[in-house]
C-alpha cells in the first residue's frame, strides 16, 4: 500500500513539474534570449567604438606629424578625418587642433566656432572647459564684456578644472573694459584662493598693484589706440613666401 501512495505522489510531483515547466520555461527562455541579444549588442558596440578610436588615433597622429613639417593642409585633412571617425574625446581634440590651425591662418571667427564645437562634443570636463576657455580668449579683444562674461562664468563655478585661469581671464576682461573695482575683486580672490597656480597668483598681485597705482586706469585708452594703428608690413621672409613654423596647438592639459 505504501508503494502505491509513493507512486501516486511521484506522479503528482511530475505533473506539477510539467505544469511549471510549461508556464516558466518560455519566460526563462525569453529572458535568456534578451540577455544574449544585449550581450551581443554590447560586444558589437564596444568593438565598433574601439575600431573608431583606433582609426581616429591613426589619423590624429598623422595630423600631428603634418604640423611638425609645417604641412597645414595635410594636418587639416588628417584632423578632419579624426574628427569624423573618432569618439567624443578624439573628436574634441581634433576640433581643437583644427581651431589652432585656423588661429595660425588668422581665421579667428572660424577658430572660435571650432573651439565652441569642441566644447560641446565631449563629456570630459577638462577637454570641454579647455576648448571653451580658448574660445573666450579669442573673443576678449573684440566681443562686448557681457559676451566674454557669458563664456567665462560657467568655467568659474566651483570644481571646474580651469577655474583659476577663467577667473584671471574674466578679471583681465573687466580691466580691459574699465571695470576696475570688479577686476580688482577678482584679482584679490585669486591671490587669496586655494589651488591657484603661483604664476596666476603673482600675476593677480601685479594686477592689483597696477589698479591701485593708477596705471590700469589708462588701459582701455591704450588698447583703443593700439587697435587704431595700421597693420605692420610683413617681414621680408614672409614677403618672399616663407612661412613661420606652425605652432602645435596642444590638446587640453
Contacts of 177 (CB under 8 A, 6+ apart): 145, 220
In this prediction, residue 41 carries a pLDDT of 47
In this prediction, residue 223 carries a pLDDT of 57
Residue 52 grid coordinates: 573608431
Could you tell me how many residues make up the chain?
253
Residue 98 backbone phi and psi in degrees, to 5: -65, -35
In this prediction, residue 215 carries a pLDDT of 79
Give pLDDT tens digits for 104-157.
999 999 999 999 999 999 999 999 999 999 999 999 989 999 999 999 999 999
Q: Are 132 and 154 in contact (CB under 8 A)?
A: yes
In this prediction, residue 10 carries a pLDDT of 57
DSSP, residue by residue, 170-236:
HHHHHHHTT-HHHHHHHHHHHHH-SS--HHHHHHHHHHHHHHHTTSGGGHHHHHHHHHHSPPPPPPH
CA distance linking residue 92 with residue 120, whole number of Å: 8
Residue 21 grid coordinates: 515547466
Closest C-alpha to 115, from 99, 138, 137, 93: 99
Contacts of 249 (CB under 8 A, 6+ apart): 96, 97, 99, 100, 101, 103
Q: Is 60 helix (H, G, I), strand (E, B) or coil?
A: helix
- CA-based R_g, the chain, Å: 31
In this prediction, residue 195 carries a pLDDT of 87
- Give Cα separations from 225 to 79, 216, 221, 229, 230 (angstroms): 38, 15, 6, 7, 10
Residue 191, burial from CB neighbour count under 10 angstroms (0-12, 13-18, 19+): middle
Give pLDDT tens digits for 67-118.
899 999 999 999 899 888 877 788 999 999 999 999 999 999 999 999 999 9
Whether the full predicted model's pTM is greater than 0.75, yes or no, is: no
Amino acid at each position: 500500500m505504501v508503494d502505491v501512495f509513493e507512486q501516486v505522489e511521484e506522479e503528482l510531483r511530475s505533473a506539477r513539474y510539467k505544469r511549471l515547466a510549461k508556464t516558466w520555461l518560455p519566460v526563462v527562455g525569453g529572458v535568456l534570449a534578451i540577455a544574449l541579444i544585449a550581450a551581443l549588442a554590447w560586444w558589437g558596440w564596444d568593438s565598433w567604438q574601439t575600431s573608431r578610436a583606433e582609426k581616429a588615433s591613426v589619423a590624429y597622429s598623422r595630423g600631428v606629424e603634418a604640423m611638425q613639417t609645417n604641412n597645414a593642409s595635410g594636418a587639416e585633412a588628417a584632423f578632419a578625418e579624426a574628427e569624423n571617425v573618432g569618439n567624443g574625446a578624439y573628436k574634441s581634440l581634433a576640433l581643437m587642433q583644427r581651431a589652432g590651425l585656423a588661429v595660425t591662418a588668422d581665421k579667428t571667427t572660424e577658430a572660435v566656432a571650432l573651439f565652441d564645437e569642441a566644447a560641446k562634443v565631449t563629456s570630459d570636463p577638462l577637454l570641454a572647459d579647455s576648448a571653451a576657455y580658448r574660445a573666450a580668449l579669442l573673443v576678449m579683444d573684440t566681443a562686448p564684456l557681457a559676451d566674454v562674461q557669458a563664456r567665462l562664468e560657467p568655467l568659474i563655478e566651483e570644481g571646474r578644472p580651469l577655474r583659476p585661469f577663467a577667473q584671471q581671464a574674466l578679471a583681465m576682461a573687466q580691466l580691459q573694459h574699465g571695470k576696475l573695482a570688479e577686476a580688482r575683486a577678482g584679482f584679490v580672490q585669486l591671490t587669496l584662493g586655494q589651488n591657484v597656480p603661483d604664476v596666476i597668483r603673482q600675476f593677480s598681485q601685479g594686477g592689483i598693484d597696477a589698479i591701485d597705482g593708477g596705471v590700469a586706469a589708462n588701459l582701455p585708452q591704450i588698447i583703443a589706440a593700439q587697435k587704431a594703428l595700421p597693420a605692420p608690413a610683413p617681414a621680408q621672409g614672409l614677403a618672399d613666401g616663407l612661412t613661420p613654423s606652425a605652432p602645435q596647438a596642444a590638446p587640453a592639459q
